[in-house]
Amino acid sequence: MNPVILAKGNTPDVHQDDDASPHHLDLLIPGPKDLARMNPWALEIQQVSKQFPDGTYALQNIEWSMTEGETMALIGESGSGKTTFLRLLNRLIEPTTGAVVIQGKPACLQDPIQLRRRLGYVPQDGGLFPHWTIKQNVCLVPHLLGWPLEQQLERLDRLLSLVNLNPSQIAERYPIELSGGQRQRVAVARALAADPPIVLLDEPFGALDPLTRHDLQDQFLSLQARLQKTMVLVTHDMSEAFRLGDRITILKEGCI
């Protein structure tokens, strides 16, 4: 099936085969990074399906890719397969059929622990360890990678400043002492700590009040303009997807 192409500010040009299923929809918002097709794919999903033991398919025949440095917003209703999609990318689960390719190499040929250390991940609730200080949370992956302590602390200061938090005021505090918005900023800083080329974000702003959410969206855009990471952002909010994504992928009933 040909995709539905939407350029921001333009009338949509819709092409659909007569026998195409209405449940398969791919909404793309092309920008400058879209056109750089000579760049290697940062992430590819090749004919992937995921079936659970009870016979239920979470994803079916997914064919999808994105380029280096772009932000892909992944949107869909609850139960559409968004979180399963992310879990396949970082090898928390394996596909039933098909292949996941990360930076040109099949994920199944990469050590899952080493792979996850090269992927930043922000879960829905931030995922901070409650009994660790902010410093310990942010420095976790650099510590596991064997960075010298001085380098870890330099990175901590830089990243907390980058997400508009004062390192001297916050580094020794615990997550419970922070507001929801502050915790999400720390979660983003932790995801960026080892300078990963790819960052996965699972509804990172979904539980926040509208004002804080808008502020963090602004922060996200500023960070991405500066860092140019490859980012997959899961959201259920179409306006957020349009605002933050270079392109949008819509999942419905496990299909694109």
Q: Which helix (H) or strand (E) holds 226?
A: helix 210-227
- Confidence (pLDDT) at 77: 87
Domains of the chain: 1-118+200-256 (3.40.50.300), 128-196 (no CATH)
pTM: 0.80
- How would you class 50 by CB atoms within 10 Å of its CB: exposed for 0-12, middle for 13-18, buried for 19 or more? buried
pLDDT beneath 50: ranges in the chain:
1-39
Structure token digits, residue 246 = 């270079």
The two three-digit tokens of residue 74, written as one number? 């992944």
pLDDT at position 158: 93
CA trace torsion 140, 146, 150, 155 (10° rounding): -50
Q: Which residues contact 237 (CB under 8 A, 6 or more apart)?
A: 75, 206
Residue 165: other Cβ atoms inside 10 A: 18
Q: How far is CA 121 from CA 91, 107, 189, in A?
A: 12, 16, 10
